[in-house]
């Protein structure tokens, strides 16, 4: 069964550094998403992406964040200057319509 893959599974970065989280969505899906889960809290929506542009974003997704589909297979989340509070598990998801397949996540630790 096809699945969303994310790399790396764990990334440690220094505060203020830029970080790029990578995702390979399911190949025939057209909608792409990033969610995050701060330890002990609920999963929160960050952004959805369709047809090479952002279709929805939450208030969490400020100017520090950006998304890109640099080629036909990858979907990336960039955090420009990481803060301690960006430490979380970041999940990528993709879908055709509503039911989404999620990746196993990238745990980002900002030190």
Partner 1 sequence: AQSVTQPDIHITVSEGASLELRCNYSYGATPYLFWYVQSPGQGLQLLLKYFSGDTLVQGIKGFEAEFKRSQSSFNLRKPSVHWSDAAEYFCAASSGAGSYQLTFGKGTKLSVIP
Residue 16 CB, nearest approach to partner 1 (Å): 28
For 65, the token pair is 């964040």
98 lies in the site for partner 1, by CB under 8 A: yes
Handedness of CA 56, 61, 64, 67 (dihedral sign): negative
Closest to partner 1 by CB, 18 vs 56, is 56
100 lies in the site for partner 1, by CB under 8 A: yes
Straight-line distance from the first to the last Cα atom of the chain, in angstroms, rounded to the nearest whole number: 36
Instruction: Write each residue from 23 to 62 as x if it is in contact with partner 1 (CB under 8 A), else as -, in one continuous string.
Output: --------x-x-x-----xxxxx--x-x----xx-x----
Token look-up 């959805």 returns 48
């Amino acid at each position: 069964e096809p699945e969303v893959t994310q790399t790396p599974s764990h990334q440690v970065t220094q505060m203020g550094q830029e970080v790029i989280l990578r995702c390979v969505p399911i190949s025939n899906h057209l909608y792409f998403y990033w969610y995050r889960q701060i330890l002990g809290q609920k999963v929160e929506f960050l952004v959805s992406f369709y047809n090479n542009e952002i279709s929805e974003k939450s208030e969490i997704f400020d100017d520090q964040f950006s998304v890109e589909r640099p080629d036909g297979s990858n979907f990336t989340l960039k955090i420009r200057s990481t803060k301690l509070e960006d430490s979380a598990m970041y999940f990528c998801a993709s879908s055709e319509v509503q039911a989404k397949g999620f990746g196993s996540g990238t745990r980002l630790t900002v030190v």
